[in-house]
Copies of this chain bind each other. A is one copy, B any other.
Amino acid sequence: QETKKFKLFWNKGYHLESNDGNFKMKFGGIIQQHWSYSSQNEVIDNLFGKPNNGSKFRRIRLYNSGSIFNFISYNLQLEFAEGPTTVKDIHISIHKLPIVGKFTIGYFKEPFGLDQYNSSNDMSFIERASNIDITPGRNNGFMFSNTAFNENATWAIGTFRDTNNFGLTSFGNKYNFTGRITALPISNKEKNKFLHVGLAYSYRTPNESKYSIKSRPEAYLLTSYINTGIINQVDNVQLTGIEVALMLNYFSLQSEYIHSRVNRKDLLENYNFFGYYIELSYFITGEHKNYSKKVGYFKRVSPKSNFNATGKGIGAVEFVTRFSSADYADKSIEGGVLNDITVGINWHLNPVTKFSIDYTSAKLKAVGNSTIFQMKFQVAF
């Protein structure tokens, strides 16, 4: 009775699906190659060294995800770009539970922030805004999540422990609690009009009472310009994130504000760090961003016509611009303030191939400037 026939098809990736729909599997890979050419003024060069110019694999991943008996799903994703193989996602979910909807355990992204939740394949820029480093990344934990109000809202809440790139948690690590809610005050699928708002909060107890954040000027090959250094005697850290995204068909605006409140023990002084960005996107070929009401984030863009070297298709062309700011200076912590302006273009040749060019002007406040030219070629399915 266990033998089931499958169909095999392509839909932005390779899919296996049993004819009764109870078993689904997706197998795919990601290759992202970056090129980066930067010039820094002399003060920056002296502080952080000459920039690395050249190319690098940013992400090389294979994944296998699937759904079993229509209520259990899993995802295994491995990263090969950084030397020894690391893990990127290992999680199992149980679906269709009453009230809580979905229960997920394993190693996965904590529910915090919009651009952090968007896949690196589906971001509007070559790198996320600098303030991304304030948000928690992937960690071991478990999470409950669901949609509400006919998928016009989502919520997720979970418990996590700090975990390294191999998926290993040191015992003794403290627990962190993270939750996110999103809502769609405006939702018109026919006209592609959406207004997304979101709020996230995380209460964290750092290991060994130590905390630090640092950020690059939105170029992977550059070093971190801003850095709090290690802050000791931290009792807890409270992160807050606010998200707004407005889609008006082929135009969209997205913005986030992320705040980190570092509460130290006893009467030691507390610190506040924060960052924000605002970005615009415009598809001159008429496509639009693809919003997922199930999770409250953005999915892959589908060009109206795929690029065809010999035929008529040109793919989708998207112009983007972003201003971002990250402020890691407070009281005695002179972590620096970094402001970046980026303009870029994304050429979505087809749903799995994207070529991007970004030009960024980064300004490290009171120190100096750098200009960064980046390209990215991506195959992701």
Contacts and interface: CB of A to CB of B under 8 A. Distances in A.
Interface residues of A, number: 71
A83 B168 contact: yes
Contact of A107 (B57, B87, B166): B57
A25 B14 contact: yes
B53 A171 contact: yes
A80 interface: yes
A57 B90 contact: yes
Nearest to A30: B76
A69 interface: yes
Nearest to A78: B80
A331 to B, nearest CB: 35
Nearest to A7: B5
B84 A84 contact: yes
Contact of A55 (B9, B16, B140): B140
Interface string A73-108: 010101011111101001010001100000001110
A71 interface: yes
Contact of A9 (B3, B33, B82, B106): B3
Given A68-B381, A171-B221, 4 more contacts: A29-B74, A54-B171, A55-B140, A68-B353
A10 B31 contact: no
A92 B33 contact: yes
7 contacts: A3-B10, A4-B10, A31-B74, A33-B92, A55-B169, A69-B352, A85-B85
Contacts of A97: 309
A239 to B, nearest CB: 22
A364 interface: no
Contacts of A96: 309-310
A362 B307 CA distance: 56
Given A25-B14, A353-B72, A377-B105, A167 B9 contact: no
Nearest to A165: B83
Contacts of A64: 29, 62
Contacts of A33: 92, 105-106
A315 to B, nearest CB: 10
Contacts of A140: 55, 57
A69 B105 contact: no
A5 B17 CA distance: 12
A353 B57 CA distance: 34
A76 B54 contact: no
A171 B68 CA distance: 44
Contacts of A302: 2
Nearest to A69: B350
A351 interface: yes
Contacts of A10: 2-4, 6, 18, 23
A56 interface: yes
Contacts of A53: 171
Contacts of A249: none
A247 to B, nearest CB: 21
A68 B352 contact: yes
A379 interface: yes
A8 interface: yes
A377 B90 contact: no
A54 B2 contact: no
A60 interface: yes
